[in-house]
Amino acid sequence: MLTAEILKNFTPLHTLTDEHLARLARRVVVEDVAKGAAVCAEGDTDNDAIYLLEGGVEMRSRSSSMSRVLQAGTPDAAFPVSPGRPRPYTATATTAARIFRIDNAMLDRAVLLDEVSTTITRVHDAGNAFAGDSEWLEEMLASPAFGTLARERVAMLLLKLEPMIVKTGEAVIRQGEAGDYYYILKEGELSVSRKDTQGKVKLVSKLKRGDVFGEEALLSGDPRNASIVAMGDSIVMRLARSDFEELLKKPLITHVTVEQAQERMRRGAGLVDVRSATEFQQGAIKGSMNIPITELRARLTQLDPVRPYVLYCRNGVQSEVAAFLLRQRGFEVVVLRGGLESLQRG
């Protein structure tokens, strides 16, 4: 069984606090490798960092007759086996060996959390309900959107978050109100409901720890389109509109000109119109597909997760909302600056 003390022998794990090392140790699985078996192969594109705990491995490349033997417990074994994507070497066990793997994305988040957690604890008084728990931060950083931010920006964002305790039955946001904050659920469970034009309230979804919400009203300027209520005593962290725009909107939403959009499409990008079906039928850019912003979450499977997209609407506002939602889910998207109105002006 791995312990924090064992993990301290490896780089960059040795830089982490005991708390983060203990959490990693619970998630990492140790593997036994038989003599002569492959630990990894040249050209592999997995995202794991592989560390040697016991035994030895030989690393060879097809492009060279040179080989290198790595022995557990030596200074070189503090570093990952055949690091890089694609892997530059095939590693084969020269003896019975033991290894462990850590997803590099998880490792990067742990290092980032370690860099900012001391500051966060200092800002959020250690005596209150928010100190001593960084698991929610790790879950938040697992989001593709947060994972693309520069470390300095993430640290600044975390420092700007304000804690908010919500009792059972209390509303975090109410349908029809103006948007003023972006939220991250730290603890508890929230219900999302929407009232239709006849006054009937329908449960839309539930939110769990690490989920984010409230961005649509901030991006579009429209009133809140749903109410979100605590199903039990909960804790949310909120980010003011000005900080949201500076720290999240700016780095996550990229605008392109018509010429830049055309170049992206020549290289294979798809074109998505996020206006309503009625507006789309009245006139759209040739070759575009229509996914109205109101249906985007339900129709994500219609988009190729590895294909880039150019988004457009009438004036660029709805496509900014769509871009943010898609970036949060790992899609590579840009927004046509000014939307169709920019084409009409041109």
pLDDT tens-place string over residues 16-65: 888 788 888 888 889 999 999 999 999 999 999 999 999 999 999 988 77
Which homologous superfamily does the CATH classification assign to the domain defined by 253-345? Rhodanese-like domain (3.40.250.10)
- Whole-structure pTM value: 0.68
Q: pLDDT > 90: what percent of the chain?
A: 63
Return the domain boundaries, the chain: 4-104, 124-246, 253-345
Taking 90 as the threshold, does the pLDDT of residue 145 lie above it? Answer: no
Taking 60 as the threshold, does the pLDDT of residue 127 lie above it? Answer: no
Dist. CA 44–CA 21, nearest whole Å: 27
Q: What is the 3-state secondary structure (H, E, C) of the chain?
A: CCCHHHHCCCCCHHHCCHHHHHHHHHHCCEEEECCCCEEECCCCCCCEEEEEEECEEEEECCCCCCEEEEECCCHHHHCCCCCCCCCCCEEEECCCEEEEEEEHHHHHHHHHHHHHHHHHHHHCCCCCCCCCCCHHHHHHHCCHHHHCCCHHHHHHHHHHCEEEEECCCCEEECCCCCCCEEEEEEECCEEEEEECCCCCEEEEEEECCCCEECHHHHHHCCCCCCEEEECCCEEEEEEEHHHHHHHHHHHHCCEECHHHHHHHHHCCCEEEECCCHHHHHHCCCCCCEECCHHHCHHHHHHCCCCCCEEEECCCCHHHHHHHHHHHHCCCCEEEECCHHHHHHHC
Does a cis peptide bond (omega within 30 degrees of 0) precede residue 86? yes
What does the pLDDT read at residue 188?
94
223 band by pLDDT with thresholds 50, 70 and 90:
very high
Q: Within 13 Å and on the Cβ side, how many CA atoms surround 47?
A: 6
| Structure token digits, residue 135 | 């698991």
CATH 1.10.240.10 fits 124-246, yes or no: no
Q: Within 13 Å and on the Cβ side, how many CA atoms surround 136?
A: 24
Establish whether domains 4-104 and 124-246 are of one fold.
yes
Dist. CA 192–CA 202, nearest whole Å: 9
Q: In one letter, which amino acid is 13?
A: L
4-104 has which fold? Jelly Rolls (2.60.120)
Task: With beta carbons less than 8 A apart as the criterion, state whether 170 and 229 touch.
Answer: yes
Q: Per mean pLDDT, which range of 78-82, 168-172, 261-265, 324-328 is the poorest?
A: 324-328
- The average pLDDT across 128-141 equals 60
Distances (CA, A) of 314 to 44, 237, 275, 282: 44, 33, 7, 12
From its phi and psi, is residue 245 left (phi > 0), alpha (psi between -120 and 50) or beta? alpha
Using one digit for the tens of pLDDT, what is the confidence trace for 310-320?
999 999 889 99
Taking 50 as the threshold, does the pLDDT of residue 130 lie above it? Answer: no
- The average pLDDT across 133-146 equals 71
Taking 50 as the threshold, does the pLDDT of residue 128 lie above it? Answer: no
